[in-house]
């Protein structure tokens, strides 16, 4: 968290709902969001909404989003998303497409 506080953001919040947090991002009420352990059904619709609003959604490694990987960074700008990807350590969860 200390490394993320260097970002040009208004603050750090955890609101308890990934769907609500992602919608806040799409509306411009939040600058960025990252999470590990979200499933594809948590991310699919929000990804479309954020991208349609002009935001960026990527994998926590900094690469393209893989809905089955259970990890995400969403941000209002690509620069913010890449900053977060460089500052956090990726946690690997079981993929949604594995048995």
Question: Which residues fall in the annotated binding site?
Answer: 42
Helices (H), the chain: 18-27, 40-52, 78-87
Q: In the numeric block, which tokens belong to residue 44?
A: 């699919």
For the chain, what is the radius of gyration of the CA atoms?
12
Q: Which residues make up each annotated binding site for Mg(2+)? A: 42
């Amino acid at each position: 968290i200390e490394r993320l506080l260097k970002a040009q953001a208004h603050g750090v919040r955890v609101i308890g709902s990934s769907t609500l947090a992602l919608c806040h991002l799409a509306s411009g009420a939040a600058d960025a969001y990252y999470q590990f352990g979200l499933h594809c059904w948590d991310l699919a619709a929000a990804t479309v909404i954020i991208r349609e609003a002009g935001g960026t959604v990527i994998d926590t490694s900094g690469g393209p989003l893989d809905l089955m990987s259970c990890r995400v960074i969403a941000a209002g700008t690509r620069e913010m998303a890449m900053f977060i990807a460089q500052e956090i350590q990726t946690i690997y969860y079981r993929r949604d497409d594995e048995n």
